[in-house]
Amino acid sequence: MSTQQTNNKKRILSGITPSGNSLHIGNYFGAVKPQLELQNDLTTDTHYFIADLHALTTVHDAAALEKNITGVVLDYLSLGLDPSNSVFFRQSQVMSHTQLAVVLANYVSFGQMKRMHAFKDKLQKNVGVESINMGLFNYPILMAADILIYKPFGVPVGEDQRQHIELARDIAENFNRTYKKDVFPLPEPLISKTIGKIIGTDGKRKMSKSLGNIIGIFEDEAVIRKQIMSCFTDPNRKKATDPGKVEGNPVFLYHDLLNDDLAEVADLKDRYTVGTVGDVEVKEKLFLAHQRMFAQARDRRRNLEQDLNQVKEILKNGADEAAKVADATMKEVYQVLGIENQLN
Ligand code: TYM
């Protein structure tokens, strides 16, 4: 039963880890926005989830975890996730993700796992290999299970997740080859070339909460303003009258993403290039553009916060719906493995 479809629609799957309690514009433009566009595409059947078990690699405090999960769920819904159009759920509420992860670990080698970026990055930060948390080391296996259990056609994510999807494909191929059966179709990474990697406000590295180089979406206005005002620009420009560089300048990258007033953006770029506008004005206009773009979402979030029971209900219904597909795959997997149990 190898299918990447529901009712003739291409199945799409993606997840987000609640390692913090809110999303930033890197998450939004790199992943959430493309995911929401697919939700509104009539040829796709979208499944999006909160990867709460993945957060255990870093969050070891029950109250903080719950707060993060609720925060990210509210962010997603406020940004436009429509539960009547997408199956929206929490990973831990669909039991077969972890069941499949235990199985898939047997079709990937230690050598393959050692090459994973998340693990290698941790080692570079001078954490001794002996003290690496096994949840972090195994993370890509759970992620492969998250994906393969839905037999999706495509996985919309940012560039930093490409290696994980490639591993999921390798595991699927190995499994299919071992049992001479196309149990798992190979999922396509759906990654934008232009916005798959949003640069941080330091102008150097990928925008990431742990690097402290983010622009948030739902934080207080004073916080967002500060994040924007501290943004790196053209390092060679000392005064507002010096000609500046627009290309690769993060402030202008953000203007291109956030500012709906295209004439204003063109004017700022022209004036920056010849040296007739200061950084402060460019950033001030960026802050106003941010406010315009997210005003509606911020309002929606304030309303949703008042009705957390409704949010819980949405997630429960989503988990029930997701489990139908996931459990059917798990049943098939156990059959192929030669394991008889209550599922089959
Ligand atoms: P996470 O929670 O780190 O990030 C969520 C999504 O946001 C994208 N992203 C970015 N895109 C562009 N520029 C950036 N600066 C940027 N920062 C983050 C990420 O690529 C991602 O798409 N392992 C995943 C969660 C996960 C998952 C899955 C995803 C667990 N199981 C199964 C897909 C399918 C993660 O930690 O993403």
Domain spans in the chain, listed from the N-terminal domain onward = 5-198+308-337, 209-301
pLDDT band at 145 (very low <50, low <70, confident <90, very high): very high
For ligand 1, the distance from its centroid to the CA atom of residue 298, given in whole angstroms, is 22
The whole-number average pLDDT for the span 298-318 is: 96
| pLDDT of 34 above 80 | yes
Mean pLDDT of 153-171: 97
Question: Is pTM, for the whole model, over 0.85?
Answer: yes
The burial of 121, by beta-carbon neighbours within 10 Å (0-12 exposed, 13-18 middle, 19 or more buried), is given as exposed
pLDDT at 70: 97
Residue 7: pLDDT over 80 = no
**Is residue 2 scored above 70 in pLDDT?**
no
Note the pLDDT of residue 222. 98
Mean of the pLDDT values across residues 139-145?
97
Tell me the mean pLDDT in the region 297-319: 97
Question: What average pLDDT does the segment 60-88 reach?
Answer: 97
Residue of higher predicted confidence among 118 and 35: 35
209 catalytic, yes or no?
A: yes
Does position 23 have pLDDT exceeding 90, yes or no?
yes
- Judge if the beta carbon of residue 158 lies within 6 A of ligand 1: yes
Mean pLDDT of 251-256: 98
> What is the sign of the dihedral through the CA atoms of 156, 161, 164 and 170?
positive
Kindly give the distance from the C-alpha atom of residue 194 to the centroid of ligand 1, in angstroms, as a whole number: 16
Confidence of residue 1 (pLDDT cuts 50, 70, 90): very low
Q: Which CATH architecture has domain 5-198+308-337?
A: 3-Layer(aba) Sandwich (3.40)
Q: Which of 12, 17, 207 to mutate to test the pocket of ligand 1 (most atoms within 8 A of CB)?
A: 17
Averaged pLDDT for residues 192-209: 95
Interval 96-113 mean pLDDT: 98
The pLDDT, as a whole number, for residue 153 is: 97
- 209-301: CATH topology: Tyrosyl-Transfer RNA Synthetase (1.10.240)
pLDDT level of residue 120 (50, 70, 90 thresholds) = confident
